[in-house]
Amino acid sequence: MRILTRYILKEVLSHGLLGTGVFTFVIFMRELSRILELVVRNSAPVPSVAQIFFLILPQTFTFTIPMGVLVGILIGLSRMSADSEVTAMRAAGVGVGRILKIVAVFGIIAWLLALANNLLVAPRSAAALAEMQKSLAASQASFEVQPRVFYEDFKNSVVYVQDATTASGTAVWKKVFRAETGTPGLVKITLAEQAIVSGGQGGFRLHLVNGGVHEVNVNTPDQYSITTFAETDTVLTPPQIQKPVQDVVPVKQMPTSELLALARAPGKDQSRNYWIEFNTRLAFPSSCLVLVLIGIPLGLSSKKGGKGAGFVLTIILVFIYYFILSTGLSLAKSGKLSPVAGVWLANVVFTLVGFLLLWRVDKMPIELGFNQAFFSGIRGRMFNRFQKKDEWVAPRQRFFRQRFPLILDDYVLRSFLGNLTIILAGLVVLLLIFTFFELLSDFFRNKPGWLTLGSYLLNVSPAMLYQVTPLAVLLAVLVTLGQMQKSNELTAMKATGISIYRAIVPVLITAGVLAVGLFALEQSYLPYANKRQETLRNSIKGRPAQTYLRPDRKWISGQNNNIYYYEFHDPDRDVFGSISVFEFDPQTFQITRRIYAARAHWDEGLQQWVFSQGWQRTFRGAAFEDFHRFPVSTFAELNEPPVYFKKEVHQSSEMSYAELSAYIGELQQSGFDVVRLRVQLYKKLAYPLITIVMAVLAVPFALSAGRRGPLTGVAIALLIAVCYLITSGLFEAMGNINQLPPALAAWSPDAIFALAGAYMVLKTPS
């Protein structure tokens, strides 16, 4: 292999690997929280968690390998073109054809890897992942049950426990309340002092200790039975495994040979879907070769834009390619195009355009218009937009004290803000593209209208901005200080007596302002935007209109050791239908009284609930004490007002700090899960401050990696981001299950990374 071939391959390969890593990072982080939850709950063995981690990657590589090829070619060749290396090659007689042959080696290797992944690895990993999730489903449900929370995800059952612990990987519930409501009018209540939970086929087994079973039909309350037990076993069935489907395997999980056989089989109703999936497995890897054709001429033509032009072109081309691909897939699934034509539409279009651009760039260079003014000129226009060339500029005013701010501060700030603007815009656009293609199939199926899709992307943008700003600050500091270190500007600062600590002051002040801005955004506009985007997403997904009230919640814990159960609730008229009240002894957790009424309404004059056409029964342990019917009755101890039963079910992202704090106080009285909400409450304060921590943490890495080029800085940024997300997700998962106090779970990642950053900054030669 010649030196020139090695040099070009090294350039495109390094950028290609980095691009694949970035895209894989963005997609894979969505699954990280679920994996960390498995680790923290200890509800899955460590080998299974590691297996889940690796089984997700092949499905991610289906999309990210072709995208990495495009990134490598565009950014690598754009850098060489901007540094006039392509011009030198052409002067030495190296034409576009020679470059095409060299880069084609890179494309063919990526194509072979993607082909093996799509045809062999990804289907097997999808099938193995589905099987593993199915096997873990029962054990997962047992660990999902939280103390003093009604868990309604079991088949025809509601479970409520006073306390839940874990011993040697086994869940232990204390003071268990289980209600079975599968038969209309019949409510079977099982109480137990303790339940030991173990997994099993079709669900998981409860070994109940010291309890009893209350069984009655509310229409015939005279026939009431109580059965006590010292020990007994019962099975709870999660809904996701209650109806196993035989001989139906999703197309994503089928081996390629079986998929092809089913596609060729005559008379198959799903043959079109089989053909679409088979062609998709071939089309995705082939896009590596197609993107080589279109990436080379565009990369060679980005003479003035450099890597910035390559980055912008990557985003644009990825958007166009996957838009055409999704459109073709939708047309193929609807029968308007054949499976082959629909799936391969994007590759055909890009191949034709690629050959046209190759012919054009060989005859005459293509000017794309990405020049230095587009990228670095943003910094100048940001501060000088309204200043005329001949306008007299007043002497710059000093603030605070004589040595701050200096002209040097302006220079550092301009560079930092320019890089931050480009990086922040790129990350948000990248996330919007992923979101767009994630929803595109639902969009074509439900046809909500382009205005709805555009409104959703507009309303989800603030949340994306909120999420990626710390990462953007990290990257911007790495790039800014890395460039200054590479060009010896930091050395010049030190020579004039300005330390590194003093040079980064404007960056830290800006990071602080951004942190305050993120908190203000989260408190003011973001809750409204999140509510709006959730409504629009439901419309795009074809889901029924959602409300923020849950009038159909049938179980709720009262204020005085009682539990309410109802089959109907009209929150506008404050009326209940078929309502039952269970009163408990707080020490023994046994039912002391049970009240049933066909109807209950709130009387404003009495300020009480009026129960009609009902009965009540009192108990002394497992023995009956009293029973009587009533046409109309009131109970002074049942004093929860109507508003108590109108709890709003909000997401924490849809509320400000004050609203979430008040909401937690309300729900805590009603038996709802507030542990996760408390963690999110403290994260509303902790997350914006990570922006400052990332700025501090980036400084020593930028100085050490400055001379190795920006690629090293980006790789370091990704590594730091992965470490932070894993740490944050781990502590959050521990807080969610009460292994850590909520405040400690939310603030620990900030404290850990702040201490690490401060230590490394103080150890850096200033």
Residues 385 and 506 occupy one common structural domain: yes
Residues 518 and 449 occupy one common structural domain: yes
Q: For residues 107 and 662, which has the higher predicted lDDT (pLDDT)?
A: 107
Distance of CA 526 to the CA centre of its chain: 17
pLDDT at 600 over 90: yes
Cβ-proximal residues to 229 (8 Å cutoff; 6+ apart), any chain: 208, 210, 211, 212, 213
Residues 459 and 601 occupy one common structural domain: no
Q: For residues 63 and 545, which has the higher predicted lDDT (pLDDT)?
A: 63
* Under 8 Å between Cβ of 314 and 74: yes
For range 301-319, the mean pLDDT:
64
Count of CB atoms within 10 A of residue 540's CB? 20
pTM of the model: 0.59
Helix, strand, coil percent values for the chain (each to nearest 5): 60, 20, 20
Cβ-proximal residues to 148 (8 Å cutoff; 6+ apart), any chain: 160, 161, 162, 557, 671
640 occurs within a structural domain: yes
Determine the pLDDT at residue 367. Answer: 52
13 by Cβ neighbours in 10 Å (0-12 / 13-18 / 19+) ranks as middle
Determine the pLDDT at residue 557. Answer: 81
251 HSE (CA, 13 A, CB side): 17
Q: What does the block give as tokens for 728?
A: 């944050």
d(CA 494, CA 59): 49
244 occurs within a structural domain: no
Residue (of 662, 216, 690, 698) closest to 467 by Cα position: 690
* Under 8 Å between Cβ of 690 and 756: no
Determine the pLDDT at residue 158. Answer: 84
d(CA 752, CA 764): 19
Question: How far is residue 182 from each of residues 36, 157, 187, 213, 594, measured CA to CA in Å?
Answer: 35, 8, 8, 16, 20
User: For every residue of 172-216, which 3-state class applies, written as one string?
Assistant: EEEEEEEEECCCCCEEEEEEEEEEEEEEECCEEEEEEEEEEEEEE
Residues 384 and 364 occupy one common structural domain: no
666 occurs within a structural domain: no
Question: How far is residue 535 from each of residues 460, 484, 579, 597, measured CA to CA in Å?
Answer: 11, 46, 32, 37
Average pLDDT across the chain, whole number: 78
Confidence of residue 414 (pLDDT cuts 50, 70, 90): confident
Q: What does the block give as tokens for 287?
A: 């896009």
Question: How far is residue 187 from each of residues 190, 560, 582, 759, measured CA to CA in Å?
Answer: 10, 22, 12, 62
435-452: buried (b, 16+ CB within 10 Å) or exposed (e) per residue?
A: bbbebbebbeeeebeeeb
* Under 8 Å between Cβ of 471 and 694: yes
252 occurs within a structural domain: no
d(CA 104, CA 382): 41
What phi, psi does 632 have (nearest 5°)?
-145, 140
For the segment 140-160, what is each residue's pLDDT rounded down to a tens digit?
555 556 667 777 767 778 888
Residues 683 and 572 occupy one common structural domain: no
| Angle at 714 (CA atoms; ends 712, 720), nearest 5 degrees | 100
**Which H or E element spans position 530?**
helix 525-541
d(CA 212, CA 189): 8
* Under 8 Å between Cβ of 149 and 172: no
Domain that holds residue 637: 555-645
Q: What does the block give as tokens for 326?
A: 């999704």
d(CA 610, CA 632): 7
What phi, psi does 170 have (nearest 5°)?
-110, 130
User: For every residue of 612-658, which 3-state class applies, written as one string?
Assistant: EEEEEEEEECCEEEEEEEEEEEECCCCCCCHHHHCCECCCHHHCCHH
Determine the pLDDT at residue 413. Answer: 86
660 occurs within a structural domain: no
Determine the pLDDT at residue 258. Answer: 84
For the segment 679-724, what is each residue's pLDDT rounded down to a tens digit?
888 888 898 999 998 888 888 877 776 555 555 666 777 778 778 8
pLDDT at 239 over 70: no
For the segment 173-207, what is each residue's pLDDT rounded down to a tens digit?
888 888 887 776 677 889 998 888 876 555 678 88
Q: For residues 642 and 301, which has the higher predicted lDDT (pLDDT)?
A: 642
- As a whole number of angstroms, the longest Cα–Cα distance in the chain is 104
* Cis peptide upstream of residue 405 (ω within 30 degrees of 0): yes
Q: What is the CA radius of gyration of the chain?
A: 32
609 occurs within a structural domain: yes
595 occurs within a structural domain: yes
Cβ-proximal residues to 386 (8 Å cutoff; 6+ apart), any chain: none
Q: What does the block give as tokens for 419?
A: 């890089």
For range 315-329, the mean pLDDT:
80
Choosing from 621, 645, 669, the residue where a domain stops is: 645
* Under 8 Å between Cβ of 349 and 283: no
pLDDT at 52 over 80: no
Cβ-proximal residues to 682 (8 Å cutoff; 6+ apart), any chain: 742, 743, 745, 746, 747
**Which H or E element spans position 557?**
strand 555-557
* Under 8 Å between Cβ of 601 and 575: yes
Residues 89 and 114 occupy one common structural domain: yes
Q: For residues 479 and 364, which has the higher predicted lDDT (pLDDT)?
A: 479
d(CA 458, CA 427): 15
Question: How far is residue 634 from each of residues 52, 617, 624, measured CA to CA in Å?
Answer: 55, 15, 22
pLDDT at 564 over 70: yes
Confidence of residue 515 (pLDDT cuts 50, 70, 90): very high
636-653: buried (b, 16+ CB within 10 Å) or exposed (e) per residue?
A: eebebebeebebeebebb
Confidence of residue 218 (pLDDT cuts 50, 70, 90): confident
The DSSP letter of residue 112 is: H
Residues 474 and 609 occupy one common structural domain: no
Residue (of 176, 139, 182) closest to 157 by Cα position: 182
Confidence of residue 360 (pLDDT cuts 50, 70, 90): confident
pLDDT at 373 over 50: no
Residues 469 and 592 occupy one common structural domain: no
Strand ordering across the sheet containing 220-236: 151-154, 157-167, 170-180, 186-200, 203-217, 220-236
Residues 337 and 192 occupy one common structural domain: no
Choosing from 627, 645, 663, the residue where a domain stops is: 645
636 occurs within a structural domain: yes
Residues 315 and 454 occupy one common structural domain: no
Residues 79 and 175 occupy one common structural domain: no
Residue (of 472, 464, 470) closest to 690 by Cα position: 470
For range 575-603, the mean pLDDT:
89
Q: How many folded domains does the chain comprise?
A: 4
For the segment 242-265, what is each residue's pLDDT rounded down to a tens digit?
444 444 567 788 888 888 888 787
Residues 293 and 343 occupy one common structural domain: yes
